Amino acid sequence: MKIRRILLLLVLGLVFWAGGGGYGAWAGVPIPDLDIGQGGHCVADPLYMRLNHMNLLIHQRDQTVRQGIRGGPYSLAVCVDCHASKVNHSVLGTSRNFCQGCHEYVSVRIDCFECHSSEPRNTKAMITGQSRVVKESLK
C-alpha cells in the first residue's frame, strides 16, 4: 500500500509538473481536467494538499469522532463547500468533478460520500441519518 501510494503520487507529480502545474495533455496520456469549484485559496498549499489530503482528512476525522474536537481546519464539509462544481454542485458525478475525477484517474476508491454530503452545505445537510449509528459503533 505504501509503495502503491508513492508510485501514484510520483506519477501524478510528474504529470502535473510536465503540464506546467495545469492539467493539460501530456505525451498523449489523458490527464484529468478537473473542475476545481469555487476557486480562492486552498486550506494549504495545493501541492502539499495533493500529497497529503488523505492524511489530513483521516486525522481530522479521528479527532472529531474519537475526541469530539470539531471545527478543525481540514473539515470534509469545508472541502466540499469550496471544491463542489458550480455546474452540478457536487464533488462527484462526472470525471471532471474534483474528488471523483482525480480518484477515477488514479483508480483509488473512496467511500467517504456514502455518509458525507458531496454537495455544499447550503444545498444539503452535511451528514445523513447514518451518523448516529456510526458514532455508536465507534464507541
Residues lying near ligand HEC in the complex (CB under 6 A) are found at: 4-5, 8-9, 12, 36, 38-43, 46, 49-50, 53-54, 56-57, 60-61, 64-65, 70, 74-79, 82-83, 91, 98-99, 102-103, 106, 108, 110-112, 114-116, 127, 130-131, 134-135
Least distance (Å) from ligand HEC to the CB of residue 14? 12
> If you search the block for the grid coordinates 451528514, which residue do you land on?
127
Q: Is 26 left (phi over 0), alpha (psi -120 to 50) or beta?
A: beta
For residue 96, the minimal CB distance to ligand HEC (Å) is: 11
Whole-angstrom distance, CA of residue 12 vs CA of residue 17: 8
DSSP annotation string for 2-62: HHHHHHHHHHHHHHHHHTTTS---BTTB-----B--S-S--SS-HHHHHHHHHHHHHHHHH
Shortest distance in whole angstroms from residue 28 CB to ligand HEC: 20
Closer CB to ligand HEC, residue 24 or residue 46?
A: 46
Nearest residue (CB) to ligand HEC, 60 versus 85: 60
Closest separation in Å from C-beta 27 to ligand HEC: 18
Cα Rg for the chain, rounded, in angstroms?
Answer: 16
Q: Please identify, using beta-carbon distances, which residue of 3 and 27 lies nearer to ligand HEC.
A: 3
**Identity of the residue, 28 or 49, whose beta carbon is nearer to ligand HEC in the bound complex:** 49
